[in-house]
Amino acid sequence: MGTLAGKGAVVTGGSRGIGRAIVRRLAADGAAVVFSYLHDEAAAKAVAGEVTGAGGRALAVQSDQGSLDDLRRLTGEAGEYLDGLDIVVINAAGGLPGLISDVTEDDYDRFMAVHAKGPFFLIQHAGRVLRDGGRIVAISTLNTRLHPPGGALYTGAKGALEHYTKVAALEFGGRGITANIVSPGATDTELLRAANPGATFDDEVARTALGRLGQPEDIAAVVAFLAGPDSGWISGQNLPADGGLMP
Ligand SMILES: NC(=O)c1ccc[n+]([C@@H]2O[C@H](COP(=O)([O-])OP(=O)(O)OC[C@H]3O[C@@H](n4cnc5c(N)ncnc54)[C@H](OP(=O)(O)O)[C@@H]3O)[C@@H](O)[C@H]2O)c1
């Protein structure tokens, strides 16, 4: 019996990268998982099929994290597919925000809708629907501490997500619900490569105690711990998952 047997989970952005590793890991630990994707239906169906083939349960739902209607559809489908909701992982992210001088009002509104507004209302939903002892895990980034040029919208939105999560820990803690943040360092995914075209990442690897780039499975292991029974006394925390990245 896995540590998450009998649990129901929602994960946003599960078709690729870190989210896919989280879906696989939660399902391997015994949870039934409903996960969202934005465009890549084939990749999402492949993840759901792979999990089901391995004896788990996973359902892929097209749902834009920047649309509250889509998020209502995601949580509605989760309500039907799962026997109850125990775990919400807010992972989806996408889009390259750019330098402050280049950001338009539309860029700003869209970026904040996906990375701050949608997550806020998912946290609100989690507070209403999670069973007692439930878990909220928000995926942020080390960049809220390192602040790269071109990262104003990204770090601003992720900073908001971190604060929403910490307040949720206080507001929902009376029911044994924990809310925590995982902040990955450089992790080898399409998002990392798209944001740093042509980069070798030698500098990041050189500054990482464990001497390599993170893999999605490294982050999924931390999420599985925070989603599981052994993390019940940890709440409102922001856990770096970066292999010991030195600033
Ligand atoms: N990779 C890193 O180095 C790194 C470092 C720090 C933090 N993070 C954080 O880790 C999380 C995952 O990043 P990743 O590197 O795994 O990204 P990724 O490989 O680009 O995967 C992004 C996932 O999110 C989905 N997605 C994108 N926009 C969405 C939207 N509006 N609504 C719903 N789903 C959407 C994508 O779906 P489609 O397949 O349909 O496009 C895909 O499943 C993000 O929160 C990111 O900020 C990553």
d(CA 154, CA 237) in angstroms, rounded, equals 20
d(CA 197, CA 100) in angstroms, rounded, equals 20
Residue 163 pLDDT greater than 90, yes or no: yes
Which sign, positive or negative, has the C-alpha torsion 13, 231, 135, 163?
A: negative
Q: Could you tell me the distance, in angstroms and rounded to a whole number, from the CA of residue 174 to the centre of ligand 1?
A: 31
Pick the atom of ligand 1 nearest to 90's CA. 45
d(CA 234, CA 224) in angstroms, rounded, equals 13
Residue 37 designated active-site = no
pLDDT band at 224 (very low <50, low <70, confident <90, very high): very high
Q: Could you tell me the distance, in angstroms and rounded to a whole number, from the CA of residue 37 to the centre of ligand 1?
A: 9
Task: Work out the percent of the chain whose per-residue pLDDT is above 70.
Answer: 100
155 Cβ inside 6 Å of ligand 1: no
Residue type, position 234, single letter: I
Beta bridge partner(s), residue 179? 136
Pick the atom of ligand 1 nearest to 16's CA. 43
Q: Which domains does the chain have, with CATH numbers?
A: 8-241 (3.40.50.720)
Q: Could you tell me the distance, in angstroms and rounded to a whole number, from the CA of residue 12 to the centre of ligand 1?
A: 9
The string of pLDDT tens digits covering residues 165-219 is 999 999 999 999 999 999 999 999 998 998 888 999 999 999 999 999 999 999 9
208 Cβ inside 6 Å of ligand 1: no
Mean pLDDT of 41-61: 96
182 Cβ inside 6 Å of ligand 1: no
Question: Which positions ≥6 away from 138 have C-beta within 8 Å?
Answer: 89, 90, 119, 123, 161, 162, 164, 165, 179, 180, 181, 182
